[in-house]
Amino acid sequence: MNILRDNLHYGSQVPKKQIPNKYVELYNATNLWIIDLPLYWRLVYTVRSTEVEIINLILDVYDHPGYDKVFNYKKK
């Protein structure tokens, strides 16, 4: 969590066209970021702002198979 306090955009940004509908429908997410965690876990978050504050909102934490399913990645 300290990393997100120091750097709002830590991790990899998901291209807008690849944001799963789940996040758009549930959270009205217009941007999505992913942080690789140990043991192939992934943390998914979005950044929201107003004129007064900037908020990092953690949306999900996935294991590798769960992440692949939500983001439609297929095994080769």
Per-residue pLDDT reduced to its tens digit, 10-63: 999 999 999 999 999 999 999 999 999 999 899 999 998 877 777 888 899 999
Residue 75 lies in a domain: no
Residue 26 lies in a domain: yes
Residue 76 lies in a domain: no
Residue 34 lies in a domain: yes
Residue 18 lies in a domain: yes
For tokens 């950044």, the residue is 47
Tokens encoding 41: 């876990």
Domain count, the chain: 1
Distance, in Å, from the CA atom of 44 to the CA atom of 69, rounded to the nearest integer, reads 14
Range of the domain at 29: 2-70
Distance, in Å, from the CA atom of 68 to the CA atom of 44, rounded to the nearest integer, reads 13
pTM of the shown model: 0.81
